[in-house]
A and B are shown apart, each in its own frame.
Chain A
Amino acid sequence: MKGTYLGEFEEVVLLAVAIRSGDAYGAAIVNEIEQQMDRSVSLGAVHSALNRLQEKGLVDSQMGGMTAERGGRRKRLYTVTAYGRRALEEIRQLRNQMWDAIPHTAWS
């Protein structure tokens, strides 16, 4: 399981890719994370995470359209693979399971 282990930031990036589904590329993901989490992230961290996710087979990518904002350069558009989706679901399930296991007395 070590190979598919998802770090916290990777998970965030993977979720951002899923949110921006269809238009998920580096800058958009940076924006998404900054908006959602209200914290500043560096482009390098995002790209390196995307790179790792792709190596693990959790996302897929292809070159896409260009805009004037980008100086006429194309984007690399990421999509979550089926495997990536399952990984996200597993994490969620695991979290829920653990939430459910917390005894009610814990918060009192």
Chain B
Amino acid sequence: MNHPPRPVGDAAGLPERPRPPRWATRLLHWLCPPHRAEELEGDLSELFQQRVQAVGLSQARWRYVRDVLSLLRPSLLKRDKYPRPTTTTMIRNYFKIAWRNLAKNKAFSVINIGGLSVGMTVAMLIGLWMYDELTFNTYYQHYGRIAKVMQSATVNGDFGAGEYMPLPLAKTLQTDFADDFERVVLSSWTREHILAYGDKKFTKTGNYVSPEAPDLLSLTMTKGTRAGLTDPASVLLAASVATALFGDADPLGKVVKIDNKLNVKVMGVYEDFPHNTEFREMRFMAPWDLYVSSEPWIRENAGWDNNSWQILAQIAPQADFTSVSAKIKDLRLKNVPETAHVKPAVFLHPMSRWHLYDQWDKSGVAGGRIQYVWLFGLIGVFVLLLACINFMNLSTARSEKRAKEVGIRKAVGSNRAQLISQFFSESLLVVGVAFTLSLLLVWLALPLFNDIADKKLVMPWQEPVFWLSGLGFSLVTGLIAGSYPALYLSSFQPITVLKGTSSGFRVGRFATLPRQVLVVIQFTVSVTLITGTVIVFQQIQHAKNRPVGYDRSGLITVAMNTPELFGHYNALRSELIGTGAVVDMATSSSPTTQLGSRQIGFDWVGKDPAMKEQLGVMAVTHDFGKTVGWQFVAGRDFSRTFSTDSSGLILNETAVKYMGLNDPVGKVVKWNGKPFQVVGVIRDMVMDSPFAPVYQTAFLLNYNWAGVINIKLNPRLSASESLASVEAVFRTFNPGSPFDYKFLDQQYALKFAAEERISTLASIFAVLAIFISCLGLFGLASFTAEQRTKEIGVRKVLGASVLNLWSLLSKDFVFLVLIAFGIATPIAWYFLSGWLQKYEYRTELSWWIFAASGAGALAITLLTVSFQAIKAALMDPVKSLRSE
């Protein structure tokens, strides 16, 4: 750059003249466009010299500065009158050319930008989902120090872990291991309870917890204090419950009734736990002591041999989970020595692992949702990879057309560095547009995605990590995609490029090889995803088609959670049937969609003495069979005509096999010494997971062991009519509670929720992957067709048929897809057979699924390519050959 010129006087050796302020001169020189600098500086200097004579130095200097500032106005600083090529104008030119290129090839631009932004959208959604999964429970302040106390056992070589704990363990941990634990909290399970205030009644989920629980879970109190649970007749409410019960009124000190029997005073209101926390359903907390005093069975079962409650612990700051686990390992063995044969161990399960590692396989390795986090992460990476491959493929294909531009730019004087920066800035522009578009798409798709994935994700607009990773990724994609044209095209000799014929500069065969490899990778991923989706879907269908052994239609269950419902069995039943809306009614210990209880202590003639038996037990009433419609393979249902049925037993088929009974009807089975006579055998009912084998189960008559009322609605009436009559009956019997019911078929469908969620997400991703791959293929096909326009014209003139040309243009791609299929099949087989392993009731991996997905991919390829191929083949050769 020029230096501020010195006054000529110095150089000429004339006497020293007064000088204007130098900073002002510099400022002007720096900002002023060069074509004006000379005259302006000249004028300034002339006026300054005059003024020094006329008004004195300081005044002249002051006016000089004012003049300089007055010259700094936009109209005088404008530079475009005599443009000078600078770095910025060149970059502006690059963007202009990039923009013109995009606008000229609209189809390509749409494919390129659209494909990339769809890929980025998928990756972002998956990223958000993974982040949510990985930060599960981090809401709790003591996240790093909280653990569930759990116990494991190894039965017949199979490891199993459970969180149902004996009551005295909590006390032992508190007293004997006081140094290791800061807090130990006993809790009931999160269950539905009725909360009533005045005539407002709601069914809300909540727990009975030790008074330290609010501190352990670091509740954010909006009213009252965390210490509210020390009084046994107290309750803490979540803000949502408080609003539901009291509206805007102050809830503190109000008396609420739990399950129509316990009066408790509201001592505090806490902020609801967010959606991605373990205890999000814990909408109220009542004191543990109240629970113990209101449920007499707890005192009776307060020994070491009953595992019914959960224990949460916060370890001391200096302790760590592994060493504390080692210390408490043998507590159960010490206190219940007869369990030695199952190798019981008590351990701590840290909060950070609750959500993702909640299952143990038979050898005791923890797993669970973490595998889906990995799976989706992998899918996200792959979809993004597909989009990037597309992007690179298309931009490299297009860039060959621009060899001439490179030649001209070089001839005019561009050096290589400038060309490299041109192509990079161009691909960055496209990636930037795609990134902006994908932000928009994510924002639009998020509600739908939340719905499918059962999440409450929000756009992390304020997260710097989000922006950094998004922009970082865009930068990397842009640089990679731009690297081929930037580094390769820029190396051309202008003379060779410009000398070439008008048919374009041939870049050579080796340039197409990486592109072919990329297409193969794309289709490998796509075919794998198609196969995976089909098999996941088939597995779900397989389990859905499984015979359930009873009739779910029109069956509803009502929870028996208030004392009013007990002791009126016959009256309630006849009243319900009397309405005509109900076919039959029966109580049972648990709904048929859930096997509530597994018990030991059974004995029968012919039992292997070494067998550690365990049977599911369900208490039912005489009318249960007719209500749910179970099916007998031997014997009969319970009947009121046989008074001996009060000690009767019904087994399911699996139980008969499990116990090794031949001709079981009439046999006697003892449970804890009490004899039961088998009256019948039913077909297996699917009560637990539809993917697992049916558990051996015994059904016995007990009118007092009742958890739910099962009601079979009259199929001749509409459900809403029937429900209205049923509700009226419940209003008279149970006036203090809201009428809450569940449809059993809906409950059963929930068992598929996890699998269906995966299947929906996987199929969406598979469709997107295919879509992206096809976009790429479409672009490539149209590019090849365009490149070979002349060749096709010549071929047509020489007599080639449309079919000939079609196969000429399609066969390359078909070949690539076939290779991809060959690679994808073993990969898909490996992963899917692994996935199916975890289901005991599973579908077969048949060859036709692979064949079908291969054929599907091929068909899609042909469709995509044919459009271009046929278009090219139908073109008038006169037109394609004319333009020479």
* A interacts with B: yes
Contacts of A72 in B (CB 8 A): 5, 8
User: In the complex, how many angstroms separate the beta carbon of A73 from the nearest chain B beta carbon?
Assistant: 3
Stretch at the interface among B43-51, B172-180, B399-407, B769-777: B43-51
Residue A31 at the chain B interface, CB threshold 8 Å = yes
Instruction: Select which of A26, A40, A45, A52 is within 8 A of B43 by beta carbon.
Output: A26
The CA of A76 and the CA of B40, in the complex, are separated in Å by: 9
| A44 to B9 Cα, complex, angstroms | 25
Shortest Cβ distance from B75 into A: residue: A48
| CB nearest to A52 among chain B residues | B75
The residue from B6, B9, B39, B63 contacting A26, defined by CB atoms under 8 A apart:
B39
- A51 CB → nearest B CB, Å: 6
The 0/1 profile, CB within 8 Å of A marked 1, for residues 43-67 of chain B is 1111101100000000000010011
Q: B38 contacts the other chain (Cβ, under 8 Å)?
A: yes
For A3-37 the 0/1 string (1 means CB < 8 A from B) is 00000000000000000000001110011000000
Q: A43-B67, A43-B70, A68-B14 are in contact. Are A76 and B39 (CB under 8 A)?
A: yes
Which one of B8, B38, B72 contacts A74 once the chains associate, using CB atoms below 8 Å?
B38
Given A26-B39, A30-B47, A73-B42, residue A47 in contact with residue B5 (CB < 8 A): no
Instruction: Name the distance in Å between A16's Cβ and chain B's nearest Cβ.
Output: 14
Query: Which residues of chain B are near A66, meaning CB under 8 Å?
Result: 42
Q: Is B826 an interface residue (CB 8 A)?
A: no
- With both beta carbons as reference points, the residue of chain A lying nearest to B69 in the complex is identified as A44
CB distance from A4 to the nearest CB of B (A): 18
- Residues of B contacting A48 in the complex (Cβ-Cβ under 8 angstroms): 73, 75-76
Contact A44-B49, Cβ < 8 Å, known A63-B39, A73-B41, A74-B42: no
Q: Contact check, A73 vs B45: say whether CB atoms are below 8 A apart.
A: yes
B128 within 8 A of A: no
CB of B12 within 8 A of chain A? Answer: yes
How far apart are A102's CB and chain B's nearest CB, in angstroms?
37
Which among B9, B39, B73 is the interface contact of A25 at CB below 8 angstroms? B39
Q: Does A96 contact B (CB under 8 A)?
A: no
| Chain A residues within an 8 Å CB radius of B73 | 44, 48
Residue in A45, A52, A70 whose CB lies within 8 Å of B70: A45
Central interface residue in B5, B44, B47, by most chain A CB within 10 Å? B47
The interface bits of chain A over 56-76 (1 if a CB of B lies within 8 angstroms of the residue's CB, else 0) are: 000000010011111111111
Complex CA distance for A42 and B38, rounded to whole angstroms: 18
Contact B47 A71 (CB under 8 A): no
- A71 engages B43 (CB within 8 Å): no
Q: Are A42 and B46 in contact (CB under 8 A)?
A: no
Q: How far is the CA of A71 from the CA of B10 in the complex (A)?
A: 9
Is there a chain A Cβ closer than 8 Å to B18's Cβ?
Answer: no
CB distance from B45 to the nearest CB of A (A): 5
Q: Which of B8, B40, B46, B72 has the most CB of A within 10 A?
A: B46
Residues of chain B within 8 A of A51, CB atoms compared: 75-76
Determine the chain A residues whose CB is within 8 A of the CB of B43 once the complex forms.
Answer: 25-27, 30, 43, 47, 70, 75
Question: Please, how many angstroms separate the alpha-carbon atoms of A42 and B66 in the complex?
Answer: 7
Residues A67 and B46 in contact, CB atoms below 8 Å apart? yes
Residues in B20-50 with C-beta less than 8 Å from chain A: 36, 38-47, 49-50
Could you say which of A40, A47, A73 contacts B76, with CB atoms under 8 Å apart? A47
A25 to B: closest C-beta gap in Å: 7
Which A residue sits closest to B74, measured CB to CB? A48
Contacts of B7 in A (CB 8 A): 71
Residue of B with least CB distance to A26: B43
Instruction: Give every chain B residue within 8 A of A63 (Cβ-Cβ).
Output: 38-39
B-chain residues with CB within 8 Å of residue A74 when the two chains form the complex: 38-39, 42
Nearest CB in chain A to that of B9: its residue: A68
Taking CB atoms, residues of chain B closer than 8 Å to A40 are: 63
How far, in whole Å, are A18 and B72 apart by their CA atoms in the complex?
Answer: 26
Task: Give CA–CA (A26, B67) in the complex, Å.
Answer: 12
Chain A residue with the shortest CB-CB distance to B38: A73
Chain B residues closer than 8 Å to A47, beta-carbon distance: 36, 40, 43, 71, 76
Which among A52, A66, A71 has the highest number of chain B CB atoms within 10 Å? A71
Give A1 to B813 CA distance when docked, in angstroms: 67
Known: A27-B47, A31-B50, A51-B76. A71 touches B70 (CB 8 A): no
How far is it, in angstroms, between the C-alpha of A31 and the C-alpha of B72 when the chains are bound? 20
Bound-state CA distance A5–B76 (Å) is 20
**Structural contact, A44 and B67, CB atoms closer than 8 A:** yes
Contact A75 B42 (CB under 8 A): yes
How far, in whole Å, are A42 and B76 apart by their CA atoms in the complex? 14
Q: Check if B45 sits within 8 Å of A70, measured CB to CB.
A: yes
In the bound complex, how far is the Cα of B46 from the Cα of A42, in angstroms?
14
Q: Give A63 to B40 CA distance when docked, in angstroms.
A: 12
> How far, in whole Å, are A73 and B647 apart by their CA atoms in the complex?
121
Q: Once the chains bind, are A26 and B75 in contact (CB under 8 Å)?
A: no
Give Cα A96–Cα B75 distance, bound, in whole angstroms. Answer: 33
Chain B residues whose CB sits within 8 angstroms of the CB of A42 once the complex forms: 66-67, 70
Complex contact A70–B71 (CB within 8 A):
no
The residue in chain B whose Cβ has the minimal distance to the Cβ of A29 is B43
B residues 788-840 near A (Cβ < 8 Å) are none
Known: A42-B66, A42-B70, A44-B67. A71 touches B41 (CB 8 A): yes
Contacts from A to B (Cβ < 8 Å): 25-27, 30-31, 40, 42-45, 47-48, 51-52, 63, 66-76
A-B contact pairs, 26 of them (CB 8 A): A25-B39, A25-B43, A26-B39, A26-B40, A27-B42, A27-B43, A27-B47, A27-B50, A30-B43, A43-B40, A43-B67, A43-B71, A44-B67, A44-B73, A45-B70, A51-B75, A67-B46, A70-B42, A71-B6, A73-B5, A73-B42, A74-B38, A74-B39, A74-B42, A75-B39, A76-B39
Please name 7 further chain A to chain B contacts, defined as beta carbons within 8 Å, in addition to the given A40-B63, A74-B38, sorted by A numbering: A26-B39, A43-B47, A47-B71, A63-B38, A69-B50, A70-B42, A76-B39
Going nearest first, the 8 A-B pairs with the smallest beta carbon separation are A44-B70, A73-B42, A26-B43, A42-B70, A72-B8, A70-B42, A43-B67, A76-B39
Chain B residues packing against A (C-beta within 8 Å): 5-9, 12, 14, 36, 38-47, 49-50, 63, 66-67, 69-73, 75-76
